[in-house]
């Protein structure tokens, strides 16, 4: 557990707490937005609210024909990270005391009509939200995993990932609420045998590529072209030299995922991909992926946390389309964040062919717990 403790401590120390926009900046944004409404659209809107760069507008106060243009203009205000025009299916909570956008579901179910993020180079946020249960989604994490029955190398493993999805540029498409962005996604995934005397490195996967994403309201899409290569650890090879078949796993691939977000924090997604350059050449190219997520719109009153739950399923032609099931559930800390990323502590379960690159032909099952830093 020494290794895991060090990694978790590093996560806490590395990321600063709260990178929220100062209240003075929110006041500037609110004044700027109110002026746009007043002088360009002739609308006086005292219920306009801004918190941490997020603008929330009530749908019933805005003419339907002007909402798209208003949302687009607000997204271009310096300091704005998100613009939402919302309506409520039940009694509307007071907008005089705004709360974070995820928590505005207290007296009624929130239905988002329009959502736009800031545009320009190196913008904040992502048009396509991360896949919480995907074992190979690039982000920062540290986890302990206990393998049930057959294992890759030891029953007690540590797993860490270092990676990020970085948007380089975001823009609106014409006069619509549709936005697009292009950027880089890269990550390193390493697994360690915590039962070995020197906490041996088992395997490291390197993933990197370029992506583009599109969002229109609650619908989003994510496409990328990427490279992955996998490498066994030196200590592992020395111990397993007589009974391990090392392969030079390296390939380039492309994939596409579509996502839709429903009310009450429910999201579904699906897609697939294919490998177009591979080593070894016998690897079959096609794969499918789909899943469901729940990010609670309700925040627990005794602490700034909310429940999250996700299930991710992958099917690979290489493994006769058998399902690899990854499930994670836990809590998200809303007051521990930087760069709009939030800390999550998640229990996890996996059953299927190993996501660890060199062992993709090995069937494994494990339970674990980990810390994750997600947008």
Paired sense of beta strands 200-216 and 219-232, if any: antiparallel
Q: What is the pLDDT of residue 302?
A: 67
Q: What is the pLDDT of residue 24?
A: 54
List beta partners, residue 45: none
Q: What is the pLDDT of residue 241?
A: 55
pLDDT 10s digits, 362-373? 899 999 999 999
Interacting residues of 314 by C-beta distance below 8 A, sequence separation 6+? 287, 288, 289, 323, 324, 326, 352
pTM of the model: 0.78
SS (H, E, C) the chain: CHHHHHHHHHHHHHCCCCCCCCHHHHHHHHHHHHHHHHHHHCCCCCCCEEECCEEEEEHHHCCHHHHHHHHHHHHCCCCCCEEEEEEECCCCCCCCCCCCHHHCCCCCCEEEEEEEECCEECCCCCCCCCCCCCCCCCCEEEEEEEECCCCCCCCEEEEEEEEEEEEEEEEECCCCCCEEEEEEEEEEEEEEECCCCCCEEEEEEEEEEEEEEEEECCEEEEEEEEEEEEEECHHHHHHHCCCCCCCCCEEEEEEEEEEEECHHHEEEEEEEEEEEEEECCCCCCEEEEEEEEEECCCCCCCCCEEEEEEEEEEEEHHHCCCEEEEEEEEEEEEEEEECCEEEEEEEEEEEEECCCHHHCCCEEEEEEEEEEEEC
- Asked if 169 contacts 120 with a C-beta cutoff of 8 angstroms, the reply is yes
Q: How far is C-alpha 288 from the geometric centre of its chain's CA atoms?
A: 19
Query: Token pair of 266, please?
Result: 């429910």
pLDDT 10s digits, 285-307? 999 999 999 999 887 766 778 99
Q: What is the pLDDT of residue 170?
A: 95
> Which segments of the chain have a pLDDT < 50?
1-23, 89-112
């Amino acid at each position: 557990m020494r290794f895991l403790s060090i990694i978790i401590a590093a996560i806490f120390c590395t990321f600063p707490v709260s990178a929220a926009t100062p209240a003075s900046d929110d006041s500037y944004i609110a004044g700027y937005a109110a002026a746009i409404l007043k002088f360009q659209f002739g609308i006086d809107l005292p219920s306009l609210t801004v918190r941490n760069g997020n603008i929330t507008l009530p749908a019933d106060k805005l003419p339907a024909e002007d909402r798209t243009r208003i949302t687009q203009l607000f997204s271009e205000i310096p300091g704005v990270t998100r613009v939402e025009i919302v309506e409520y299916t039940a009694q509307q909570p007071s907008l005089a005391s705004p709360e974070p956008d995820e928590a505005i579901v207290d007296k009624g179910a929130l239905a988002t009509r329009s959502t736009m993020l800031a545009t320009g180079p190196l913008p904040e946020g992502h048009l396509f939200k991360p896949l919480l249960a995907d074992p190979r989604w690039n982000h920062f994490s540290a986890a302990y995993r206990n393998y049930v029955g057959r294992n890759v190398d030891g029953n007690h493993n540590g797993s860490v990932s270092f990676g990020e999805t970085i948007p380089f540029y975001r823009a609106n498409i014409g006069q619509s609420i549709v936005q697009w962005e292009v950027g880089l996604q890269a990550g390193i995934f390493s697994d360690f045998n915590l039962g070995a005397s020197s906490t041996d490195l088992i395997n490291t996967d390197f993933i990197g590529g370029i992506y583009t994403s599109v969002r229109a309201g609650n619908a989003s899409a994510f496409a990328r072209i990427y490279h992955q290569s996998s490498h066994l650890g030196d200590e592992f090879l020395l111990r397993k030299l007589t009974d391990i078949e090392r392969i030079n796993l390296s390939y380039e691939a492309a994939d596409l995922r579509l996502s839709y977000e429903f009310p009450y924090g429910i999201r579904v997604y699906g897609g697939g991909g294919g490998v177009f350059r591979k080593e070894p050449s016998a690897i079959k190219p096609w794969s499918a992926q789909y899943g469901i997520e729940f990010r609670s719109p309700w925040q627990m009153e005794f602490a700034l946390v909310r429940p999250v739950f996700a299930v991710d399923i992958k099917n690979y032609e290489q493994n006769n389309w058998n399902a690899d099931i990854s499930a994670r559930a836990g809590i998200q800390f809303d007051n521990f964040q930087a760069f709009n990323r939030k800390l999550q502590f998640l229990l996890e379960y996996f059953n299927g062919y190993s996501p660890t690159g060199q062992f993709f032909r090995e069937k494994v099952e494990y339970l674990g717990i980990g810390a994750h830093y997600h947008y």
